[in-house]
Structure 1
Amino acid sequence: MTDTTLLVTSAVRGAAESSGDGSWLSSLADWTVSLMEVIGPVGAGAAIALENLFPPLPSEVVLPMAGLTASRGAFTLAEALIWTTVGSVVGAFVLYGIGAWLGAARLRRIAEWMPLMKGDDVDRTVAWFHKHGWAAVFFGRMIPIFRSLISIPAGVSRMPLWKFGLLTGAGSAVWNTIFVMAGFLLGENWHVIEQYADVFQYIVIAVVVALIAWFLFVRIRAAVRARRESQTGQV
């Protein structure tokens, strides 16, 4: 390891130990910093591309480390910002491709096969995306979980590639800049912003769980009501 890598890894391990999440955070830190050491800022971009494909990988950890590494002189701040944004766009386009491959017709068949789902749900989602897709793609890049998932309906709806790429790049640039700059300016205290990001993520997860619970409640109630009406009609 280079001196810069050792300094960054030590800083991240110290933050992980102080937060009581040493093994998980340290492993991620070692892997990401090693990647940046081998291929420079491209490594940060690769890590963010993977974060888009696998949402459990927290960009709130990877991005500040890119800024912290840049502050140590391994590469420039501009390179960190550019390559992390490129990584976000690349990961998003992979998910866009999956959505385009699935298509609305195939998703309708899947929805009809799933309990409590209807093919019309897919149609309504596609119609909603055609109307609000630009805002969903742009602002979705700043919301945990959604920044990965939103690329799939974009592909299903066949949003123009140039438009999807532009909105994804712009939204990702805003989000990435906040966390890369935090790592660059806060240095070894980069983990302070992670605490606030965790709160935001928990709020998002709580909202998603609440929406899913409400959806299930409405669909189950409708199914029970339909069954009762069917039994009454038979009598």
Structure 2
Amino acid sequence: MNSTAVPLAASDGGGLLDGVVDWVVGLMETLGGPGAGLAIALENLFPPIPSEVILPLAGFTASQGDLGLVEAIVWTTIGSVVGALALYGIGAALGRERFRALAAKVPLVKISDIDKTEEWFAKHGTKAVFFGRMIPIFRSFISIPAGIERMSVPVFLGLTTLGSLIWNTIFVMAGYLLGESWHLVEEYMGYVSKAVVVAVLIAVVWFVVVRVRDMRRGGNRSGAAEER
């Protein structure tokens, strides 16, 4: 790999981004395509490592002729599947009953909430696994409930491979076409990731507010009944 090519593309963000870039560059210099795949596998296990950096960087490397474009897409997709399988295994090891027991101990969470979640996953699990591969943050964690619910491994592998292939191809191609401006992908996707985080936080706050309100109403009704 040409050691002078990637530093020209590095963004001015510094800090964590530069560290990730240096790390990924080191892997690809040492291992080539498998290095990009390893980086993506670890990204699945440790979401703070952004695929929005790794994938365009692999595409940029391919544009310099140091890595084949198809090779970059294939290896990053293999990495995505390996990382997803590891998380699926964690979910399967945890198991449905153990998960229910742990979730039931979480404040404000009811067994009925868990039942509804399981019913939802039974109906929409395949779509969640497929489309979840293309949503920041969820793309990693969706593998765990799939494992808990013991989704068919061939189905899980098929959906994960297809969804990851689409996501990886888009971002590798973006880096390939943008060349030394590959870091713009991470810059704009950062806004999307932040929007997802904000949406999750709003949903959590709304859940807490509604549940506390319902508990207070239940307490008031019990108190009024006792007075009677």
Shared fold, TM over 0.5: yes
Which amino acid in the other structure matches residue 24 of structure 2? T
C-alpha separation in 2, matches of 1:219 and 1:234 = 23
Identify unmatched segments of 5+ residues in structure 2: none
- Structure 2 counterpart SS, 1:224: helix
C-alpha separation in 2, matches of 1:61 and 1:12 = 11
Q: Which residue of 2 aligns with 1:195?
A: 187
Is residue 158 of structure 2 the alignment partner of residue 166 of structure 1? Answer: yes
Which amino acid in the other structure matches residue 170 of structure 1? L
Deviation sequence 1:4-61 (CA, Å, 0-9, x none): 13311x1233x2x1xxx21221111111100111111111111111111111111000
Aligned pairs for 1:116-155 within 5 A? 116-155=108-147
Which aligned segments of 4 or more residues in structure 1 are displaced greater than 4 angstroms? none
- The total of aligned residue pairs comes to 227
Deviation sequence 1:77-121 (CA, Å, 0-9, x none): 111000000011111111111111112211111122111011222
Q: Which residue of 2 aligns with 1:6?
A: 4
Deviation at 1:191, TM superposition (A): 1.8
Deviation at 1:233, TM superposition (A): 2.6
Deviation at 1:149, TM superposition (A): 1.2
Identify unmatched segments of 5+ residues in structure 1: none
Which amino acid in the other structure matches residue 215 of structure 1? F
**Which of these residues, 196, 220, 226, is aligned with residue 212 of structure 2?**
220
Identical-residue share of aligned pairs (%)? 53
C-alpha separation in 2, matches of 1:200 and 1:230 = 45
Deviation sequence 1:159-184 (CA, Å, 0-9, x none): 10000000001001111011101111
**TM-score, length basis structure 2:** 0.95
**TM-score, length basis structure 1:** 0.92
Which amino acid in the other structure matches residue 47 of structure 2? P
Q: CA RMSD in A?
A: 1.3
